């Protein structure tokens, strides 16, 4: 049986009924992974032995439960046996973690990120560490310090970024689900371009303890899955307060699977006109508008709205995110982290050589911008002003959410672009995130859900919700998925 075609909840169901073993699920996905990797390159590290061992432990437990005459299905945790991939900027105990940077080439963390620990506790089996843009800076996964990942629907195209490996692994059937991080769109953009579901939870909903920091006021971890039900299960596993992350919200997380089938009748959905700019490809525009029309036929009340400060969001982001990155990346200095460059005479020279050898061009660019906007004389003009405009962007959302429960927009103005087409032009690469960045500035949750194909390439619908209201987001996404028939697809 081609188990790799099935979403996580189906695999868990078969395991609970004793129709397959965890080892069969893991082996089947490892076979698929080995067949697809030469073409896709989604993984920086395959955790083959670890995955088989984890699966073996689950099967032992099932045997014990059976012998004790217990109800296996009821006793197993919710993601038991489900193969997952982890973006390589999240710490995994004893398993290499590089953030796709040469500067962390030999780093093996002594601890698990909270999300990784929670997935383990939920029974998920870790297939490996997924490729990404170096330190999550990029929109195509071409900024990886190792190799680019390819789009499973068309390997001449990018999977999106920065969590491109996580999205491609799920789209190709190499894992049933994965984790990514989203600072300006890095979950939603690759989800959209790879035709899978991607959730950027509310800032603070999911612990970032053990996430290699990029922009600390923006970073958030979230899941990739092939359908919305799996997204809700993954959200259940990773959400909730963590005393190890001071920014994690101390509020209980609901059971996200509960409200899924409540429908969209009466939900007020706003369509912000600024998100359908002239750069939006006609095919994308049509797919997204068709999706909104379907939600309306299903009972949602749809109306146009405006987020007037949208056009400033990209500029604000490219001040705040690099500023925070320049501070966060100061620790890679050849002393605390990073292989130390040889031959330096002074300490300053050692830092400079280590960092020049370890960081790729995009990371260096961000550090230079960030250091500049934080330096004396420029701080007020750039950083402080950006913070003020960020408040205006956030207020736009507060205001529209007085009138609407959700907003619907494209995720990306275009479908997956050809590999190499934007690497020489950072600005055009930055523009891939026009529809996703404002959401990070505001801290609200959003989901990308597949809404059709244009010329064989997937398009994503972005639904944006109120702070901490992922339940409504997932419910609308689930309703759309059920009626559109767009869920659950795997790229052959």
Q: Which residues are catalytic?
A: 87, 162, 186
The residue among 85 and 321 lying less far from ligand GLN, judged by its C-beta, is: 321
> Residue 264, preceding bond cis, omega within 30 degrees?
no
Q: Per CB under 6 A, which of residues 164..183 are in contact with ligand GLN?
A: 182-183
Nearest distance in Å: CB 416, ligand GLN: 15
- DSSP-based three-state secondary structure for 205: coil
Nearest distance in Å: CB 275, ligand GLN: 17
Are 197 and 230 within 8 A, CB to CB?
yes
Nearest distance in Å: CB 113, ligand GLN: 16
Nearest to 486 by CA among 461, 469, 467, 462: 461
Q: Which stretch binds ligand GLN (CB under 6 A): 17-25, 136-144, 146-154, 231-239?
A: 136-144
Are 419 and 156 within 8 A, CB to CB?
yes
Nearest distance in Å: CB 192, ligand GLN: 13
Residue 484 makes CB contacts below 8 A (sequence gap 6+) with 291, 294, 451, 452
Nearest distance in Å: CB 442, ligand GLN: 14
Single out the residue of 23, 167, 321, 419 in contact with ligand GLN (rule: CB under 6 A): 321
The residue among 185 and 210 lying less far from ligand GLN, judged by its C-beta, is: 185
Q: Does 50 engage in binding with ligand GLN (CB under 6 A)?
A: no
Are 119 and 48 within 8 A, CB to CB?
no
The residue among 141 and 354 lying less far from ligand GLN, judged by its C-beta, is: 141
Instruction: Give dist(CA 199, CA 445) in Å, integer.
Output: 8
Residue 19 makes CB contacts below 8 A (sequence gap 6+) with none
Residue 483 makes CB contacts below 8 A (sequence gap 6+) with 294, 298
Structure letter (DSSP) for residue 381: I
Nearest distance in Å: CB 138, ligand GLN: 5
Residue 71 makes CB contacts below 8 A (sequence gap 6+) with 65
The residue among 25 and 325 lying less far from ligand GLN, judged by its C-beta, is: 325
Q: Which stretch binds ligand GLN (CB under 6 A): 47-55, 70-78, 137-145, 255-263?
A: 137-145
In degrees and rounded to multiples of 5, residue 188 shows phi and psi of -65, -40
The site that binds ligand GLN (CB under 6 A) totals a number of residues, namely 13
The residue among 43 and 318 lying less far from ligand GLN, judged by its C-beta, is: 318
Q: Per CB under 6 A, which of residues 139..158 are in contact with ligand GLN?
A: 139
Q: Per CB under 6 A, which of residues 413..452 are in contact with ligand GLN?
A: 433
Q: Per CB under 6 A, which of residues 174..233 are in contact with ligand GLN?
A: 182-186, 214
Across-strand partners of 269? 302, 406
Q: What are the tokens at 40? A: 């896709």
- DSSP-based three-state secondary structure for 218: coil
Cα 258 to Cα 196, 240, 333, 407, distances in angstroms: 21, 16, 47, 22
Residue 342 makes CB contacts below 8 A (sequence gap 6+) with none
Single out the residue of 26, 76, 84, 136 in contact with ligand GLN (rule: CB under 6 A): 136
Q: What are the tokens at 66? A: 């059976």
Instruction: Give dist(CA 490, CA 228) in Å, integer.
Output: 14
Residue 251 makes CB contacts below 8 A (sequence gap 6+) with 241, 468
Single out the residue of 92, 151, 162, 280 in contact with ligand GLN (rule: CB under 6 A): 162
Nearest distance in Å: CB 332, ligand GLN: 17
The residue among 182 and 242 lying less far from ligand GLN, judged by its C-beta, is: 182
The residue among 58 and 91 lying less far from ligand GLN, judged by its C-beta, is: 91
Binding mask 377-416 vs ligand GLN (x if CB under 6 A, - otherwise)? Answer: ----------------------------------------
Single out the residue of 138, 338, 360, 370 in contact with ligand GLN (rule: CB under 6 A): 138
The residue among 136 and 167 lying less far from ligand GLN, judged by its C-beta, is: 136
- Quote the distance between the C-alpha of residue 91 and its chain's center: 15
Nearest distance in Å: CB 214, ligand GLN: 6
CB atoms within 10 A of CB 243: 10
Q: Which residues bind ligand GLN (CB under 6 A)?
A: 136-139, 162, 182-186, 214, 321, 433
């Amino acid at each position: 049986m081609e188990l790799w075609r099935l979403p996580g909840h189906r695999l868990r169901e078969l395991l609970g009924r004793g129709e397959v073993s965890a080892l069969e699920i893991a082996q089947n996905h490892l076979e698929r992974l080995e067949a697809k990797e030469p073409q896709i390159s989604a993984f920086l590290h395959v955790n083959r032995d670890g995955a088989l061992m984890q699966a073996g432990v689950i099967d032992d437990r099932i045997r014990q439960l059976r012998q004790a005459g217990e109800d296996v299905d009821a006793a197993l945790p919710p993601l038991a046996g489900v193969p997952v991939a982890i973006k390589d900027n999240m710490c995994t105990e004893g398993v290499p973690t590089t953030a796709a940077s040469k500067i962390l080439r030999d780093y093996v963390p002594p601890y698990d990120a909270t999300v990784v620990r929670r997935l383990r506790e939920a029974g998920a089996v870790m297939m490996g560490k997924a490729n990404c843009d170096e330190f999550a800076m990029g929109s195509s996964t071409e900024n990886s310090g190792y190799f680019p990942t390819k789009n499973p629907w068309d390997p001449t195209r990018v999977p999106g970024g920065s969590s491109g490996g996580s999205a491609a692994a799920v789209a190709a059937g190499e894992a049933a689900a994965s984790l990514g991080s989203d600072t300006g769109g890095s979950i939603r953009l690759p989800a959209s371009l790879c035709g899978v579901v991607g959730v950027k939870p509310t800032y603070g909903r999911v612990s970032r303890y053990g996430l290699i920091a990029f922009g600390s006021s923006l970073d958030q971890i979230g899941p990739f899955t092939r359908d919305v039900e799996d997204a809700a299960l993954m959200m259940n596993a990773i959400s909730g307060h963590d005393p190890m992350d001071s920014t994690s919200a101390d509020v209980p997380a609901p059971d996200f699977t509960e409200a899924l089938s409540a429908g969209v009748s009466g939900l007020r959905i706003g369509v912000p006109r600024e998100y359908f700019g002239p750069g939006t490809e006609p095919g994308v525009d049509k797919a997204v508008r068709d999706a909104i029309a379907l939600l309306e036929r299903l009972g949602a009340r749809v109306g146009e709205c405006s987020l007037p400060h949208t056009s400033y969001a990209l500029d604000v982001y490219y001040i705040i995110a690099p500023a925070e990155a320049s501070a966060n990346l100061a620790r890679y200095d050849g002393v605390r982290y990073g292989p130390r460059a040889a031959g330096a005479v002074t300490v300053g020279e050692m830092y400079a050589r280590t960092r020049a050898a370890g960081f790729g061009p995009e990371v260096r660019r961000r550090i230079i911008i960030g250091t500049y906007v934080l330096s004396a004389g420029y701080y007020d003009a750039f950083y402080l002003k950006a913070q003020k405009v960020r408040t205006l962007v956030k207020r736009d959302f507060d205001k529209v959410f007085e009138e609407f429960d959700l907003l619907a927009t494209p995720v990306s103005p275009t479908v997956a672009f050809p590999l190499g087409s934007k690497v020489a032009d950072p600005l055009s690469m930055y523009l891939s995130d026009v529809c996703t960045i404002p959401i990070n500035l505001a801290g609200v949750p959003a989901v990308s859900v597949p809404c059709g194909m244009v010329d064989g390439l997937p398009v994503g619908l972005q639904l944006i919700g109120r702070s901490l209201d992922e339940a409504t987001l997932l419910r609308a996404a689930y309703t759309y998925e059920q009626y559109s028939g767009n869920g659950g697809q795997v790229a052959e």
